[in-house]
Amino acid sequence: MTAEEVNKQLLEALKGLGTSFNDSHDHNAQIVTELKAVIRKSRPTGGQANKPPTFRGDSHDDIEEFIQQFTQYADFYNWSEERRRRALPLNFDGPASTWYNTISTSVTDYSDL
């Protein structure tokens, strides 16, 4: 076998490796794209689903519904009573926040709220 024939065979082998590498890269890129799509679909939209509800205390707001939603959220994340007590006022806005600020010094546990 001549040096020219060896070079030709090496070039062909390298081309084959390059094609194999490109195919593998393309396949991996496709898998990454598909995984990103799955992750995107599984994430809450708008960032709202991963936050507890807020309560303003306006006349049309339903305190029972808010407490139920907050409790479900806290249960999902296994929050302790102390964490619930500390987190609840963070979800008050407007009149509810004003109300909380007037009673906050007397609140010692979650059930007091």
Q: Which domain holds residue 58?
A: 47-112
State the pTM of this model.
Answer: 0.53
Please indicate, yes or no, whether residues 23 and 59 belong to a single structural domain of this protein.
no
pLDDT at 39: 63
Smallest CA-to-CA distance from 67 within 53, 49, 47 is with: 53
What's the rounded Cα separation, in Å, for the pair 73 and 85? 13
Q: In whole angstroms, what is the distance from residue 5 CA to residue 7 CA?
A: 5
- Identify the pLDDT of residue 41: 63
From first to last of the 113 residues of the chain, give the pLDDT tens digit.
Answer: 787 887 778 778 777 767 776 676 677 777 777 766 666 665 554 444 567 888 998 888 899 999 999 999 999 889 999 999 888 889 999 998 888 888 866 677 777 66
pLDDT in the model for residue 70: 92
Both 39 and 67 in one domain: the answer is no
User: How many domains is the chain partitioned into structurally?
Assistant: 2
Q: Are residues 10 and 36 in the same domain?
A: yes
- Give yes or no: residues 72 and 108 share one domain: yes
How far CA 13 is from CA of 1, 5, 20, 22, in Å, comes to 16, 12, 10, 14
Do 13 and 63 lie in a common domain? no
Output the six-digit token pair for 87: 């987190």
Residue where a domain stops, chosen among 11, 26, 43: 43
CB count within 10 Å of CB 98 equals 11
Q: Indicate if 52 and 106 belong to the same structural domain.
A: yes
Same domain (yes/no): 74, 96: yes
Which pLDDT score, from 0 to 100, does residue 21 have?
67
Same domain, 56 and 94: yes
Contact between 55 and 17 under an 8 Å Cβ cutoff? The reply is: no
Looking at residue 47, its pLDDT comes to 46
Q: Both 32 and 79 in a single domain?
A: no
